[in-house]
């Protein structure tokens, strides 16, 4: 039985995956990095310590990881304050689910960006708990951020539902033992084998209702 629901942020509530991509790519170009065709997908779901190390070690930036992370966050904060890319229907969907269960958010974004996005969108009031993957040992596809969100909700992971868009996010939620609702990001579609792990696949967040978390009786 579902007792709580945990949402991802980027790609589920805000259409920000391409913004992250643009900002990281721009920084790499400015500072002589080597941006590969796989860089965006490689970093998707990583925690900030993980992706900032990737930017230094794989993309080739000379700055220390902490400096890379801080600069990316600064640029994203500027973008969000100018125009937060809230996905159509996300506020209504979150409210529908919040009317039924307590909610948490488990995101790979930095803490500053989570707080800014939720306040700017007006969604903060719906979430009892928010967790950044920089606050746990491992980013997605490891289950750590989902397990920690469930812990802070005082709920067993197996009694939680999760809403995700990315391949690493789907794998993380399933590894945590959660009922996983996938809403694939068309710009960065998960592989078929990842989608097959999901319990329910929806076309858009506008289709998300409490029924998605309530499996039909056999």
Residues with Cβ within 8 Å of residue 131, at least 6 apart in sequence: 104, 105, 106, 107, 145, 148, 149, 152
Judged by DSSP in three states, 170 sits in helix
171: left (phi over 0), alpha (psi -120 to 50) or beta: alpha
Judge whether 205 and 11 are in contact, CB under 8 Å.
no
Q: What pLDDT shows up at residue 187?
A: 85
Domains of the chain listed by start with CATH number: 4-15+85-213 (3.40.50.1000), 17-82 (1.10.150)
Structure confidence at residue 47 (pLDDT): 87
For the CA atoms of the chain, what is the radius of gyration?
A: 17
Instruction: Give the model's pLDDT for residue 186.
Output: 87
Check: CB of residue 127 under 8 Å from CB of residue 103: yes
Positive or negative torsion for Cα 59, 86, 15, 129: positive
Task: Give the model's pLDDT for residue 16.
Answer: 93
Confidence bin at 218 (pLDDT 50/70/90): very low
Residues 61-117 pLDDT 10s = 999 999 999 999 999 999 999 999 999 999 999 999 999 999 999 999 999 999 999
Q: Is the pLDDT of residue 217 over 70?
A: no
The structure's pTM equals 0.92
Where is pLDDT greater, at 217 or 181? 181
Q: Is 116 helix (H, G, I), strand (E, B) or coil?
A: helix
Tokens of 191: 């592989």
Let me know: does 56 contact 83? Beta carbons within 8 Å: no
As a whole number of angstroms, the distance between CA 94 and CA 45 comes to 21
Distance CA(170)–CA(158), nearest Å, equals 15
Model confidence over 31-49: pLDDT tens digits?
999 999 889 888 988 889 9
Q: What is the pLDDT of residues 135-173, one digit of tens each?
A: 999 999 999 999 999 999 999 999 999 999 999 999 999
Query: How high is the pLDDT of residue 194?
Result: 94
d(CA 213, CA 87): 21
Instruction: State what percent of residues in the chain have pLDDT above 70.
Output: 99
């Amino acid at each position: 039985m579902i007792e709580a629901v945990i949402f991802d942020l980027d790609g589920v509530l805000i259409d920000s995956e391409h913004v992250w991509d643009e900002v990281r790519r721009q920084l790499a170009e400015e500072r002589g990095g080597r941006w590969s065709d796989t860089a965006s997908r490689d970093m998707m779901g990583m925690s900030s310590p993980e992706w900032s190390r990737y930017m230094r070690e794989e993309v080739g930036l000379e700055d220390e990881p902490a400096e890379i992370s801080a600069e990316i966050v600064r640029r994203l904060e500027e973008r969000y304050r100018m125009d937060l890319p809230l996905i159509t229907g996300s506020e209504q969907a979150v409210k529908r689910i919040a009317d039924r269960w307590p909610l948490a958010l488990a995101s790979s974004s930095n803490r500053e960006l989570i707080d800014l996005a939720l306040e700017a969108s007006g969604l903060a009031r719906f979430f009892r708990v928010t967790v950044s993957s920089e606050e746990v040992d491992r980013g997605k596809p490891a289950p750590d951020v989902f397990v920690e969100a469930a812990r802070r909700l005082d709920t067993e992971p197996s009694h939680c539902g999760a809403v995700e868009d990315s391949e690493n996010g789907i794998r993380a939620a399933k590894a945590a033992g959660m009922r996983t609702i996938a809403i694939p990001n068309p710009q960065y579609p998960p592989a078929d084998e990842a989608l097959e792990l999901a319990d329910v696949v929806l076309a858009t967040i506008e289709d998300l209702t409490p029924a998605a978390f309530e499996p039909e009786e056999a």
